[in-house]
Amino acid sequence: MITELIYIIHILLIMKKNLYIIPILLLFSLTAFSQYVEKVNPRIGSAEHGHVFVGANVPWGMVNVGPVQPYHGWDWCSGYHASGDSIIGFSHTHLSGTGCSDLGDITLMPIYGFARTKPSRADFITDIASRYSHEHEVVEPGFYSVLLKKWGIKAEMTATDRTAIHRFTFPKGNRYANIVLDLESGVGDRATETRIWPYDIFTLVGYRTSRGWTNHTVYYAIRFDRPVSEFYMDSIDARYCQTFFEVDPGTAIQVQVGISPVSEMGALANLQIEQHEKDFDKIRLEARERWNNELGRIKASFNSERDSIVFYTSLYHALFAPQLWNDVTGDYKGTDGQIHRSPDFQNYTTWSLWDTYRALHPLATLVMQDKLSDWAQTMMAICQQHGELPVWHLHSTDTYCMVGEPGIPVLADMILKGVDGFDYEKAFLYMKQSMGDPEYTPEQRRFQYRRIPDRGKADLWKYGYLPFDSKEGETVSKSLEYYLAAWSVAQVAGKLGHTEDSIRYYNLSQGYRKLFDERVGCFRAKDKAGNFRSLEGFNPSHHTPDYTEGTPWQYLWLVPHDVQGLVELLGGTESAEARLDSLFLADSRLNAGANPDITGLIGQYAHGNEPSHHTLYIYNYLGNPQKTQKRVHEVLSRLYTEGADGLCGNEDVGQMSAWYIMSALGLYQVEPCGGVYQLSVPLVREAVFQVSEGKTFTIRTKGKGSIVKKWKLNGKKLQRPYITHEEIMQGGVLVAELKKK
Q: Each residue of 622-679: pLDDT tens digit?
A: 999 999 999 999 999 999 999 999 999 999 999 999 999 999 999 999 999 999 999 9
Bridge partners for 78 per DSSP: none
Q: Where are the beta strands (DSSP E) in 285-374?
A: 298-301, 323-324, 331-333, 339-341, 348-349, 351-352
Residue 450 pLDDT class (50, 70, 90 cuts): low
pLDDT at 1 over 80: no
What does the pLDDT look like over 153-204, one tens digit per residue?
A: 999 999 999 999 999 999 998 889 999 999 999 999 999 999 999 999 999 9
Look at residue 16 in the predicted model and tell me its pLDDT: 47
Q: Are strands 174-182 and 107-112 parallel, antiparallel or unpaired?
A: antiparallel
Distance CA 617, CA 566 (A): 14
Stretch 113-142: mean pLDDT: 95
Q: Is 593 exposed, middle or buried (0-12, 13-18, 19+ CB in 10 A)?
A: exposed
pLDDT at 451 over 70: no
Q: Let me know: does 24 contact 8? Beta carbons within 8 Å.
A: no
Angle subtended at Cα 689 by Cα 686 and Cα 693, rounded to the nearest 5 degrees? 145
Higher-confidence position of 587 and 25: 587
Stretch 437-450: mean pLDDT: 63
Among 664, 42, 733, CA closest to 359: 664
String of DSSP letters for 468-536: TTSS-SSHHHHHHHHHHHHHHHHHHHHHHT-HHHHHHHHHHHGGGGGGEETTTTEE--B-TTSPBPP-T
Fill in the DSSP letter of residue 671.
S
Among 34, 36, 9, CA closest to 24: 9
Class of domain 35-295: mainly beta
What does the pLDDT look like over 499-553, one tens digit per residue?
A: 999 999 999 999 999 999 999 999 999 999 999 999 999 999 999 999 999 999 9
Q: Let me know: does 605 contact 549? Beta carbons within 8 Å.
A: no
Among 641, 705, 713, 632, CA closest to 670: 632
For a pLDDT cut of 90, what percent of the chain falls above it? 89
Mark residue 724 as left, alpha or beta (left: phi above 0; alpha: psi -120 to 50; beta: remaining). Answer: beta
Distance CA 688, CA 711 (A): 17
Which amino acid appears at position 301 of this protein? S
Average pLDDT, the chain: 93
Residue 234 pLDDT class (50, 70, 90 cuts): confident
What does the pLDDT look like over 297-349, one tens digit per residue?
A: 999 999 999 999 999 999 999 999 999 999 999 999 999 999 999 889 999 99
List the strands of the sheet with 686-692, edge to edge. 298-301, 686-692, 695-702, 732-739, 707-713, 716-717
pLDDT at 213 over 90: yes
pLDDT at 592 over 80: yes
Stretch 25-43: mean pLDDT: 70
Look at residue 237 in the predicted model and tell me its pLDDT: 77
User: What is the sign, positive or negative, of the torsion defined by CA atoms of 227, 230, 235, 237?
Assistant: negative
Look at residue 141 in the predicted model and tell me its pLDDT: 98
pLDDT at 20 over 80: no
Look at residue 354 in the predicted model and tell me its pLDDT: 98
List the strands of the sheet with 251-260, edge to edge. 137-140, 143-148, 153-159, 163-170, 251-260, 215-224, 203-211, 190-200
Distances (CA, A) of 237 to 26, 124, 210, 582, 709: 50, 18, 14, 61, 68
User: What is the sign, positive or negative, of the torsion defined by CA atoms of 633, 299, 55, 271?
Assistant: positive
Q: Residues 287, 289, 294, 298: what is their CA dihedral angle, to the nearest 10 degrees?
A: 150
